Structure 1
Amino acid sequence: MHPPIVLSGDELSDVPMAWPVASRRLVGEGAVFDLVRDQVVDPGGAELRREWIRHPGAVGVIVLDQDDRVVLVRQYRHPSGLRLVEPPAGLLDLDGEDHVVAAQRELAEEVGLAAADWRVLVDMFTSPGASQESVRIYLARGLSAVDRPEGFVAEGEEAEMDIVLATLDDVVTAVLEGRLQNPVLVAGAMAAAASRPRGWENLRPADAPWPARLLRAEFLARAPMDR
């Protein structure tokens, strides 16, 4: 076993890496995501079978009002068996749509708000060992009420969703006590709590590069898909 490597602050970064893919097969198609099976060749030459979820990715928004309250929704999530408290969020399923535009659209659709100040809070993979889903979480402030986008109709779980308000401190406490479990809310709220004492000055601009999205197309093109 090798001794641990001590990294400096500048060295703390995820590093692109591409093990060869001997074969790739689509084994299941869904309305939102697909299940894919790869035969991956490790550095020693052994083949490993790896199943993963092909996912379009998503954006989420931690929305803070003038009273330091977070604007949230409560939505039923069938696989979890819970009605989760969540930030406004949605899929990146419109070809060519800018990421922050997608977040602005979701904010208007889900809670009827627009924001004047947009920053990037955090980028994350929801489950990198099994899913390709990457999520960018924004901080939105300077709120104003807007109409829902033309043509938007809430369906399914969204039709039963309601809007709730809570202070950021109460959200953080609920996360630490295990009462709130949505990953976008957990990551976004904790990032917001860490950045707030710094006056948000350490946050990236809304149009900052998103490396995971740039690598996604390369990953998908790495091997032809068999059915």
Structure 2
Amino acid sequence: MSGRTSEVVAGRDEVAPRPVVGRTTVHAGTVFDLVRDDIDLGDAGVVTREYLDHPGAVAIVVLDPQDRVLLLRQYRHPVRTVMWEVPAGLLDVDGEPAVEAAARELAEEADVVADRWDVLADYATTPGFSNESVRIFLARDVHEVPEAERHERHGEEAEIVTAWVPLDEAVAHVLAGELHNPSAVTGILAAAASRAGGWASLRPVEAEWPYRRGVLPD
């Protein structure tokens, strides 16, 4: 067993970038780019990988005092499905704190404001094909945005329908294979697990997030 392996903690990811010796933008998109990197793996040689360079996103599990989670119903064209999701949005404002982006998206998508915020979970959506990272917040102590101040939604967002679903019922939908949005699946299961532990796993909103673009090394 090598010295490097002996330092590894099983179950804990480690940011350990390998040198990028060449990069090409294959396609520049409106949200993300398709890039091609040549990566020096040392003794394993130089390999070429294509992936989506993505700004990242935030998602929000909103719980009310009755332990109901707020779900949104929205059409997702790539999978040709109307999905139940948790509120979410892109980190497309340079330098914006993630919790502020989450609060903005929550108000715009669901007409809801939360007074209490915690970090629930972080995940990389498809680490073999994209650098997209998502931070999931838990939002509580919620109230509605006044009707006169509500955001005017367009496109698929104009068709959003909201529902409050008991958290245990939402977990059952996940385990039955009836709910598929990754932020909803991850967030709902994480919320149920954290609740079972008395919410001791929650982290502060400024908790380290090494996988956010701009923080993650090239």
Query: TM-score with structure 2 length normalisation?
Result: 0.91
Look up the match of 1:162: 161
Verify the 8 A CA contact 1:109 1:149 in the aligned structure 2.
Answer: no
Q: Hey, what's the Cα distance between the residues in 2 that align with 1:115 and 1:95?
A: 23
Look up the match of 1:180: 179
After superposition, where does 1:1-227 map in structure 2 within 5 Å?
12-147=11-146, 152-213=151-212, 216=215, 218-219=217-218
Verify the 8 A CA contact 2:108 2:150 in the aligned structure 1.
Answer: no
Structure 2 unpaired stretches of 5+ = none
Q: Hey, what's the Cα distance between the residues in 1 that align with 2:191 and 2:106?
A: 17
| Distance apart, 1:216 and its partner CA | 3.9
SS in 2 for 1:205: coil
- Give the partner amino acid of 1:42: L
- Give the partner amino acid of 2:143: S
- Percent identical: 48
SS in 1 for 2:206: coil
| Distance apart, 1:158 and its partner CA | 0.6
| Distance apart, 1:218 and its partner CA | 2.6
SS in 1 for 2:194: helix
- Give the partner amino acid of 2:40: V
Change (3 A) 1:151 1:112: closer
| Distance apart, 1:148 and its partner CA | 7.2
Change (3 A) 1:148 1:52: farther
- Give the partner amino acid of 1:58: A
Change (3 A) 1:105 1:14: same
Verify the 8 A CA contact 1:72 1:86 in the aligned structure 2.
Answer: yes
Q: Hey, what's the Cα distance between the residues in 1 that align with 2:14 and 2:37?
A: 21
Q: Hey, what's the Cα distance between the residues in 2 that align with 1:173 and 1:149?
A: 36
SS in 1 for 2:217: helix
- Give the partner amino acid of 1:180: L
Using the TM superposition, name which of 94-103 and 37-46 deviates more: 37-46
Verify the 8 A CA contact 1:60 1:89 in the aligned structure 2.
Answer: yes
1:103-149 residue CA offsets vs partner (Å, 9 max, x unmatched): 11111111111112111100110001110100000011111111479
Structure 1 unpaired stretches of 5+ = 220-227
Q: Give RMSD over aligned pairs.
A: 2.3
| Distance apart, 1:6 and its partner CA | 9.3
Change (3 A) 1:135 1:115: same
Query: TM-score with structure 1 length normalisation?
Result: 0.88
